[in-house]
Amino acid sequence: MSELKEKRVGKDYKIPFALIDADENENPRTDYGDINPIVNTIMERGIEFIEAIKVIPYKADDGTMRYKLSHGFRRNRAFNKAKKKGFDLQYVMATKLNKNYSERDRLLDHLTSNAGKSLNPMEQMNAVDMLKKTGLNNSEIARQIGFQPTRIGEFVLLAKLSDAVKGFINDDYISSTLVLKVVKANNSDIVKAEQIITENVNAMLDRATEMETVVETGDNEIKEEVIEEKPVLKVTEKNIKGLPRMSKNVKVYSKIMEYATKKDYDKSTKDKIEFAGTLIEVFDSAKGKDSPEELLCRVMDVLEGVTIPEYDDNEEAILEEA
């Protein structure tokens, strides 16, 4: 049997599947979703109808040419599943990346051009956390992927959470947005915020367990009441304990932001509006309890890595319209 070799097909290549090395620890994605539609396409129509994966060629210690998977981990899982189901998988379609394609390039591409299934907030957090380790700061990451610096700061906060709380988010017991609200409401005190989050999630799960027990052991009348209630296994802002209610200032700002997102402002103006909101949150949460020195420290903590937009007098009319 002759040795399988890569074959040029247009701008891409057919490369031997056995020569691909895929390290899923390097993939920001944790939720691969339903890969069965990809598997079915492979089984019914072949690999030519699957978008090409991206690989980096390299020479192994034994001198053979191999390929490190850079993008296409979901498709790679589908390839493996199709093979286990009996598909004769010898080649897959791939785009070969330049040898100078760096880890930083790879992660930036994961955030900006993920094919098929977009990264969820926790997967975006993983990518940002990996990018920070390459030496980029919040503002540099934001500029290169088109996110607001404050959003990158939120990913950095999420990365500081314990695996248990990250698990609550991944299991959809609580949203990453609500977790961030709890953290910010507690002056970025991760320990205190996690205690509140854990207590609320456990209380919700305990309630669900109690209701399951009632359904299994209670009388018919109680069963009907419990079944009709249909508990939702997710902590929401409405029922969470330990979260201060939104102040008037923040409510007004939220309405301003809702209005501003519908307007066709340029990026500089949007940055200024979001920057104002960040300051409102800091000052509002203080409520006169902090000294000027303490408040300054908190402002600096919250704004770490945020680039303050330069003010342009020519845009004053635009801001007044908002």
Same domain, 92 and 22: yes
Is 195 in the same domain as 277? no
Are 173 and 241 found together in one domain? yes
Tell me if 150 is assigned to some domain: no
Do 232 and 256 fall into the same domain? no
Strand 53-59, strand 65-71: pairing:
antiparallel
Residues 6+ positions from 77 with CB-CB distance below 8 Å:
32, 35
Which residue did the predictor score with more confidence, 106 or 281?
Answer: 106
Token digits of residue 18: 């056995």
Which pLDDT belongs to residue 317?
40
Q: Tell me which of 245, 268, 286 is where a domain ends.
A: 245
The pLDDT value given to residue 244: 63
CA proximity to 131, closest of 94, 172, 159, 100 = 159
CATH number for the domain that contains residue 92: 3.90.1530.10
Do both 15 and 94 map to the same domain?
yes
Is 93 found in the same domain as 78? yes
pLDDT at 164 over 70: yes
Asked if residue 314 is part of any domain, the answer here is: yes
In a domain, 270, yes or no: yes
Residues 12 and 95 in one domain: yes
Q: Which of 3-12, 198-207, 301-310 has the lowest mean pLDDT?
A: 301-310
pLDDT of residue 261: 61
The residue length of the chain stands at 322
Would the pLDDT of 256 be above 90?
no
Q: What is the mean pLDDT of residues 236-264?
A: 68
Residue at 138 is within a domain: no
Task: Tell me which residue range forms the domain holding 277.
Answer: 248-321
Higher pLDDT, 317 or 107: 107
Among 78, 99, 120, residue at a domain's last position: 99
Please enumerate in sequence order all residues whose Cβ is within 8 A of that of 47, keeping only pairs 6 or more positions apart, or say none.
14, 79, 89, 91, 92, 93
Task: For residue range 205-232, list pLDDT tens digits in order.
Answer: 888 777 766 555 555 555 555 445 555 6
91-96 β-sheet, strand order: 7-9, 12-16, 91-96, 53-59, 65-71, 20-21
Give the mean pLDDT of 285-295: 65
Q: What mean pLDDT is reported for the chain?
A: 79
Q: How confident is the model at residue 260 (pLDDT cuts 50, 70, 90)?
A: low
Two tokens at 314? 């020519």
pLDDT greater at residue 127 or residue 252:
127
Lowest mean pLDDT among 42-46, 90-94, 259-263: 259-263
In total, how many domains does the chain have? 3
Of 34-38, 101-105, 179-183, 233-237, give the lowest mean pLDDT range.
233-237
Residue 181 has pLDDT above 70, yes or no: yes
User: Higher confidence at residue 283 or residue 172?
Assistant: 172
Cβ contacts of 274 within 8 Å, gap of 6 or more: 148, 150, 257
In this prediction, residue 1 carries a pLDDT of 42
